Amino acid sequence: MPQFIVKAKRLNRRTVVPEFLPDPNNIVGFVNENFTFEGEEVTDVPNPALGKWYRDKVGHFYWGGAIMEVSGVRFVSPAIARSPDLSLVTGQVNYQKLLPIIPAEWMQTNGRNIKVAVLDTGFFLAHPDLDHLKTTAIVQDLGGNNNTTDKEGHGTHIVGLLGAKSTAANGIIGLIPQTKFFLYKVIRDDVGFIDLFAQAAILDAIEKKVDIISMSFNVPSKEESSLHNAIKMALKNNIIIVASAGENDNLIQESLVYPAQFEGVVSVGEVSADFARSVQVPFNNQLDLILPFVDQKSCWINDSFGLYRNLKGSSMATALVTGVLASAMSFKNKAGNPLDDLKNILPTFVSNIFNDPTLNIVKP
């Protein structure tokens, strides 16, 4: 059977294919982004207008608009191929050394004297590579859960890319392990991301005088909403906001993703090399930066996957961009504009990562 991966942040699992949407009946749970399964396309859907549907091996159904087939698909960028292939790595991964076109002097700062807020699903700081954050990070639950536990693993993976610090043979060294982290759980367990929780976190981060806010999620929102107003307030306080805007070959979609869509937010997507070459990645008003669609190994919540897991997507790309911006900011002691500094080296990035200097993967 073909293998599929879920690209939505959250996708319902159903016992039957519905005739109309939204339909709250026959939902038996949900799966999260990057969930993979073996299955097949359903050929007898009751309403073809709803698009494709897929059935897994045990008979559960998933909407095809949030799924991508991954059987036989593999892309490893030339730059990463020169370093370990992250989808196969079992040894230590040092992200400060895996981005060859980023100036070494940026990476050597470890993000010192920078404050970064991460809004996500929770944080498993009992992980051996994140243990140091127990005493240095400020961790809060703003989702009404009365805990900061990461039940999904997403937030742990993101903070690992940024702040992990390990000497173990199989561990992770993040981009900015000496940064001061403010970690906000902004998800309601078993419900999902809610914009009011993100708003509360942003307002608290403003009070804490953070330098960068990283948001690897999307929420239903709109212009002049409470979330938008909080973001505008953060921008007025010269806080850089980085948010995920989608990944792979959906970058020409007309639908808008928030908070990445809001003016002033650094929106980050991911795309495959073949897609980038075929369409020259037409930018809509949502995208600022695009990174290659490849696996990133990082910390996990010690469930059936263990302490480490490989994931790909704009969530991971957002973390990498956040880490690079914090490194550049640390190196220049907060002088200048780190986003401009990053964009100035991206022509080399395009040439090295996609092996094609003509690609348009950054908004001027």
Active site residue 340: no
Residue ranges with strand state E in the chain: 3-6, 10-14, 27-32, 36-41, 53-56, 61-63, 67-69, 93-94, 115-120, 138-141, 172-173, 180-185, 187-188, 192-193, 212-215, 240-246, 266-271, 289-292, 296-303, 306-311
Active site residue 154: yes
Residue of 60, 77, 120, 244 marked active site:
120
318, containing H or E segment: helix 314-331
Pick from 174, 182, 120: nearest CA to 152: 120
Backbone φ and ψ for 255, nearest 5 degrees, come out as -70, 150
DSSP 176-244: -TTSEEEEEE-EETTTEE-HHHHHHHHHHHHHTT-SEEEE-------TTSHHHHHHHHHHHTT-EEEEE
DSSP lists the bridge partners of residue 192 as 188
How far from 96 is each of 50, 161, 175, CA to CA, in Å? 44, 10, 5
Residue of 214, 315, 327, 330 marked active site:
315
Residue of 60, 127, 154, 157 marked active site:
154
Active site residue 150: no
Note whether 3 and 37 are within 8 A (CB). Answer: yes
Both ends of the chain: CA-CA distance in Å? 43
Note whether 75 and 9 are within 8 A (CB). Answer: no
Residues assigned a catalytic role: 120, 154, 315
